[in-house]
């Protein structure tokens, strides 16, 4: 029998006081906001622990198949509010804090954003975890517990400065150290040939380096309106907490760095996105994830079954991008070495268990490891890869006799490198891209040879995002708006959002939509003006960003900085607008606030240059009283999940302007459209499917060359940016402004901006000028932006479009993606928490309140 909410709140207030005293030694009147955050989290954690335990028992006792998701990156965002939302407890938490006279948002701001990833892929998998838990799929995710996640970004007078991310500064109430789950991971050493019981040759290792991986678990709460929510697990490995990882002998010999190499293995996330690093520590990290996770999976399996005969039936492993691809060699090795599999049955088991998702077609992001490095650090795994490759090459020769060139192209070992994607495809039964176009490109270009050999392996599963974080949590007013019109089924079945189309033409709904958007924009403005710093060249805060009012068009581009994403094109457009407004304030009919956010990889010079350009632009435009009532530019410092939750609900226009053929999917495009922004976009990634679903009628701002056109231009080298430059006066003037000192205030800036212009017009380091086709697409971008302005002049009409866009997003929930993975790759069944099990754990738990020493 559920208690009355008021009584429940009173009891939970007691529990908060209990935690304040028993874990921090403070009473409620002296507790600061951080302590209160901690106690509040611990209080709700109790309820979560009950369901977590019962979910675990359910999976174990029902002998279900499970998916184990391996990924080097996660971007969960702050956990507390999401947990409260998914437990359907937000009103209760607000009531509790009301009773305690504390501000809800201020309490929750004490949580650091766990930035355990770079960008798109990390956030995608976090959406997937929300969907897996909500849809009751038996799952566990594995990753690394980086002591320092993605760097904190500061902009010092235009220059990106990277600062360490202190997310573990205070004890984290949402993680659990699991001392009973720790595994040795072995590196380097000498091979000792031996055979297993079936006579399969398999090496042992001597004189190796041993590192212990220790698990920390984070509960992932599935959404439920009742108290029977499922809880899944995100298990993160660390090497920091195992004293034996410290190499005392090396320390004593004065080799301080080497002594602590293994204790610091999981210290930092590699901050590169779309760029392969090739560093030894990175390889050690990847193998740590693989080795510890596989041991854990086998261990868990053997708790439930007496032999390995059902392993291939009960275990599914997702290799998320190539970073955990070594799991193929390592699982093969363990099956043979520790469980006496024959070679053939071991290999069949590996392929049955594993599947692989690719997230990028950029060649510079495709992982390759130097063979010498891999064979030194992981001799046993390298030996197996060599053996696998021999078999693989024979298979190619059998299927394509005489085609030695094909064998060379497909081989996993070539030119002294190990190609991780080749290993991942060969060892998986399914390979998927993340949007229809992307999956086609994989088949036609990147993995063409593999597709020809294994056509049945290649499928598409289009990305999605969770409507629970990105609507229900981030945009409460719009969520109410939706539920008031179509009920609340959309929260767990997003296909029902379709029904919203019925009220798109209704004037009352349009009006309310515009009010909500204005409200969200005011919140964004407040954030910009109070919390988004402007810094001088020494990092000192000298003010905060300025903003136009909520009647301006909020034109938003938020994502990692990369040339192919073309923030540069957007910036050049801003410059063109500025030039035009300078001549005539009235030439543009609307006010526009251009908002950027995103980090650049620390070593990616051109990406950093573009950030600097945006800074110079903002300085010029925002301080020019002749135009700054019409146009402004803002850069959101340190873009992350929490910032996204503020920006996305306030966006009018979503910039999805990558060079067609290069953005695998994009997921920000989905979040923004769900929140009622209209997309200005190229025919790239999931934009295409969004347009098809929203329909052309409500997708007015499509522009630019297609992927096919771009490919043709690249192949026949026909593109001449100089031709555009000379033909289009406004573009010429904008590019010239980068070179003639118009925007720069010192030599560094002049150099930075000239370099940008250089890449557009001149050949650089063997790269053709403007290889991302910025100038050619800028022409049509410029024209379609005028269309944006015309539509924005009619707010009701704009709202009608926006509501149709929200309704058209019915295919893009991560719930749908996960159902597709479950069906097409894992053959996985849903398994809700067992009520009896839940009752049993609750009963056992409830005994504790009676224990006191008096
Ligand atoms: C080894 C360096 C490295 C690190 C990260 C290479 C590649 C990556 C990621 C796989 C890049 C990435 O995040 N890709 C993005 O994945 C999203 C989720 O599928 C897509 O929506 C984006 O389009 C894609 O760029």
Q: Please give the pLDDT value at position 636.
A: 98
Q: Please give the pLDDT value at position 852.
A: 67
The closest residue, in CA terms, to atom 6 on ligand 1 is 274
- Determine how many CB atoms are found less than 10 A away from the CB of residue 717: 8
The closest residue, in CA terms, to atom 4 on ligand 1 is 273
The CA 665 to ligand 1 mean position distance, Å, reads: 9
Distances (CA, A) of 838 to 66, 234, 343: 20, 21, 42
Which H/E stretch holds residue 713?
Answer: helix 707-716
The answer to whether the CB of 260 falls within 8 A of the CB of 246 is: yes
The CA 75 to ligand 1 mean position distance, Å, reads: 13
Q: Please give the pLDDT value at position 2.
A: 64
Ligand 1 neighbourhood includes 365 CB (under 6 angstroms) = yes
- Determine how many CB atoms are found less than 10 A away from the CB of residue 814: 30
Q: Which residues are catalytic?
A: 359, 559-560, 565, 667, 671
CA 205 to chain CA centroid, Å, is 37
The closest residue, in CA terms, to atom 11 on ligand 1 is 274
Atom of ligand 1 nearest to the CA of 124: 18
Among 67, 382, 467, residue whose Cα is nearest residue 232: 67
Ligand 1 neighbourhood includes 439 CB (under 6 angstroms) = no
Backbone φ and ψ for 179, nearest 5 degrees, come out as -65, -20
The answer to whether the CB of 700 falls within 8 A of the CB of 790 is: no
Q: Please give the pLDDT value at position 466.
A: 98
The CA 121 to ligand 1 mean position distance, Å, reads: 5
795-807 helix and 507-531 helix, angle to the nearest 10 degrees: 90
Rounded-to-integer distance, Cα 570 and Cα 704, Å: 13
Rounded-to-integer distance, Cα 644 and Cα 635, Å: 13
Ligand 1 neighbourhood includes 276 CB (under 6 angstroms) = yes
- Is the CA virtual torsion 376, 379, 381, 386 positive or negative? positive
Ligand 1 neighbourhood includes 215 CB (under 6 angstroms) = no
Residue carrying structure tokens 């790759």: 825
Q: Please give the pLDDT value at position 278.
A: 78
The CA 674 to ligand 1 mean position distance, Å, reads: 22
Rounded-to-integer distance, Cα 384 and Cα 333, Å: 8
Rounded-to-integer distance, Cα 131 and Cα 123, Å: 13
Residue 373 tokens, joined: 């490095």
> Each residue of 207-234: b (16+ CB within 10 Å) or e?
ebbebbbbbbbbbbbbbbeeebbbbbbb
Rounded-to-integer distance, Cα 750 and Cα 737, Å: 10
The CA 123 to ligand 1 mean position distance, Å, reads: 10
Distances (CA, A) of 15 to 10, 40, 105, 162, 180: 9, 9, 20, 40, 28
The secondary structure of 786-837 as a DSSP string is: HHHHHHHTSHHHHHHHHHHHHHTTTT-BHHHHHHHHIIIII-----PPPHHH
Atom of ligand 1 nearest to the CA of 685: 23
The answer to whether the CB of 269 falls within 8 A of the CB of 286 is: no
The closest residue, in CA terms, to atom 5 on ligand 1 is 273
The closest residue, in CA terms, to atom 18 on ligand 1 is 121
Half-sphere exposure (CA, 13 Å, Cβ side) for 700? 20
Residue 513 tokens, joined: 């939509």
Ligand 1 neighbourhood includes 324 CB (under 6 angstroms) = no
Rounded-to-integer distance, Cα 653 and Cα 513, Å: 15
The CA 275 to ligand 1 mean position distance, Å, reads: 9
Residue 465 tokens, joined: 């995002």
List alpha helices for 564-626, DSSP H: 567-583, 605-622
Ligand 1 neighbourhood includes 656 CB (under 6 angstroms) = no
Mind listing the pLDDT tens digit for each residue in 392-422?
999 999 999 999 999 999 999 999 999 999 9
For ligand 1, pick from 273, 319, 419, 421 the residue to mutate: most ligand atoms within 8 Å of CB.
273
Rounded-to-integer distance, Cα 539 and Cα 490, Å: 45
For ligand 1, pick from 321, 436, 817 the residue to mutate: most ligand atoms within 8 Å of CB.
321
Residue 345 tokens, joined: 């049955």
By residue count, the chain amounts to 854
Distance in angstroms between the alpha carbons of the first and the last residue of the chain: 31
Backbone conformation region of residue 104, classed left if phi is above 0, alpha if psi is from -120 to 50, else beta = alpha
Please, is 832 exposed, middle or buried when counting C-beta atoms within 10 Å of its C-beta (0-12, 13-18, 19+)? Answer: middle
For ligand 1, pick from 115, 274, 667 the residue to mutate: most ligand atoms within 8 Å of CB.
274
The CA 127 to ligand 1 mean position distance, Å, reads: 15
Mean pLDDT, 10 residues at a time, the chain of 854 residues: 85 96 97 98 97 97 97 98 97 97 96 96 98 98 97 98 96 97 96 97 95 97 96 97 79 80 91 87 97 98 96 98 98 98 98 98 94 97 98 98 97 97 98 98 98 98 98 98 98 98 98 98 98 97 96 98 98 98 94 98 97 98 96 98 98 98 98 98 98 98 97 92 96 97 96 97 92 97 98 98 98 98 98 97 86 67
Residue carrying structure tokens 């923030």: 567
The CA 68 to ligand 1 mean position distance, Å, reads: 20
Ligand 1 neighbourhood includes 666 CB (under 6 angstroms) = yes
Residue 251 tokens, joined: 């320390």
Residues paired with 66 in a beta bridge: 315
Residue carrying structure tokens 């921090």: 24
């Amino acid at each position: 029998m559920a208690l009355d909410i008021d009584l429940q709140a009173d009891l939970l207030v007691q529990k908060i006081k209990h935690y304040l005293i028993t874990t921090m030694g403070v009473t409620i009147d002296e507790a600061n906001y951080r302590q209160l955050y901690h106690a509040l989290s611990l209080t709700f954690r109790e309820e979560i622990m009950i369901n977590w335990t019962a979910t675990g028992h359910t999976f174990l006792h029902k002998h279900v198949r499970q998916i184990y998701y391996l990924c080097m990156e996660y971007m969960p965002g702050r956990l507390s509010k999401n947990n409260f939302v998914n437990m359907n407890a937000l009103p209760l938490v607000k009531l509790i804090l009301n009773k305690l006279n504390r501000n809800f948002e201020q309490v929750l701001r004490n949580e650091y954003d766990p930035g355990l990833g770079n960008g798109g892929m990390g956030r995608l998998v976090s959406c997937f975890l929300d969907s897996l838990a909500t849809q009751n799929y038996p799952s566990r995710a594995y990753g690394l517990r980086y002591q320092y996640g993605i760097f904190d970004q500061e902009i010092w007078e235009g220059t990106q400065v990277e600062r360490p991310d202190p997310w573990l500064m205070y004890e984290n109430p949402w993680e659990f150290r699991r001392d009973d789950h720790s595994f040795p991971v072995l590196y380097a050493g000498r091979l000792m040939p031996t055979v297993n019981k079936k006579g399969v040759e398999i090496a042992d290792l001597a004189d190796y380096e041993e590192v212990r991986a220790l698990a920390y678990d984070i509960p992932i709460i599935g959404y439920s309106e009742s108290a029977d929510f499922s809880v899944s697990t995100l298990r993160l490995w660390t090497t920091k907490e195992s004293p034996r990882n410290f190499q005392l002998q090396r320390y004593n010999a004065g080799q301080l760095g080497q002594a602590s190499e293994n204790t610091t293995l999981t210290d930092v996330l590699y901050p590169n996105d779309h760029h392969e690093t090739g560093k030894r520590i990175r390889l050690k990290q990847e193998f740590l994830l693989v080795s510890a996770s596989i041991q854990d999976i086998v261990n868990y399996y053997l708790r439930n079954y007496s032999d390995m005969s059902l392993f291939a039936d009960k275990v599914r492993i997702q290799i998320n991008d190539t970073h955990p691809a070594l799991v193929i060699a390592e699982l093969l090795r363990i099956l043979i070495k520790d469980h006496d599999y024959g070679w053939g049955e071991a290999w069949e088991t590996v392929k049955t268990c594993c599947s692989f998702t690719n997230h990028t077609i950029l060649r510079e992001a495709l992982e390759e490891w130097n063979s010498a490095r891999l064979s030194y650090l992981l001799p046993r795994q390298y030996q197996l890869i060599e053996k696998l490759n021999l078999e693989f090459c024979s298979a190619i020769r059998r299927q394509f006799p005489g085609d030695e060139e094909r064998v060379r192209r497909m081989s996993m070992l070539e030119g002294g490198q190990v190609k991780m994607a080749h290993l991942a495809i060969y060892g998986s039964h399914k390979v998927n891209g993340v949007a229809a176009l992307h999956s086609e490109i994989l088949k036609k270009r990147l993995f063409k040879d593999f597709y020809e050999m294994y056509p049945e392996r290649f499928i598409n599963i289009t990305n999605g995002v969770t409507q629970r974080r990105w609507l229900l949590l981030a945009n409460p007013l719009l969520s109410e708006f939706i539920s008031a019109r179509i009920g609340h089924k959309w929260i767990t079945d997003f296909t029902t959002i379709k029904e919203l189309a019925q009220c798109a033409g209704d004037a009352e709904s349009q009006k309310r939509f515009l009010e909500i958007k204005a409200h969200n924009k005011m919140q964004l403005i407040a954030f910009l003006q109070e919390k988004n710093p402007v810094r001088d060249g020494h990092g000192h805060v000298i003010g905060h960003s300025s903003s136009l009012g909520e009647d301006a068009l909020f034109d938003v581009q938020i994502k990692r900085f990369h040339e192919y994403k073309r923030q540069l094109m957007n910036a050049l457009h801003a410059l063109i607008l500025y030039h035009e407004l300078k001549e005539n304030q009235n030439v543009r009919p609307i006010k526009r606030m251009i908002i950027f956010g995103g980090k650049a990889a620390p070593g990616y010079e051109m990406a950093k240059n573009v950030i600097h350009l945006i800074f110079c632009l903002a300085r010029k435009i925002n301080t020019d009283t002749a135009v700054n009532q019409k146009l402004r530019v803002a850069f959101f410092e340190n873009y992350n999940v929490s910032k996204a939750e503020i920006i996305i609900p306030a966006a009018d226009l979503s910039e999805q302007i990558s060079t067609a053929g290069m953005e695998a999917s994009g997921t920000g495009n989905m979040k923004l459209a769900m929140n009622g922004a209209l997309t200005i976009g190229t025919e790239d990634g999931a934009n295409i499917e969004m347009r098809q679903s929203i329909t052309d009628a409500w997708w007015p701002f499509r522009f630019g060359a297609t992927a096919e056109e771009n490919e043709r231009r690249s192949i026949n080298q026909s593109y001449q940016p100089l031709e555009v430059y000379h033909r289009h006066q406004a573009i010429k003037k904008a590019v010239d402004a980068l070179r003639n000192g118009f925007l720069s205030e010192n030599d560094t800036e002049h150099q930075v901006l000239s370099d940008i212009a250089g890449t557009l017009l001149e050949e650089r380091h063997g790269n053709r000028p403007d290889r991302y086709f910025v100038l050619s697409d800028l022409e049509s971008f410029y024209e379609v932006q005028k269309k944006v302005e015309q539509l924005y002049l009619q707010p009701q009409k704009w709202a009608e479009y926006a509501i149709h866009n929200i309704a058209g997003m019915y295919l893009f929930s991560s719930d749908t993606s996960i159902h597709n993975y479950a069906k097409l790759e894992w053959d996985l069944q849903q398994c809700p928490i067992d009520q009896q099990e839940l009752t049993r754990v609750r009963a056992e738990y409830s005994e504790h309140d009676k224990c006191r020493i008096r």
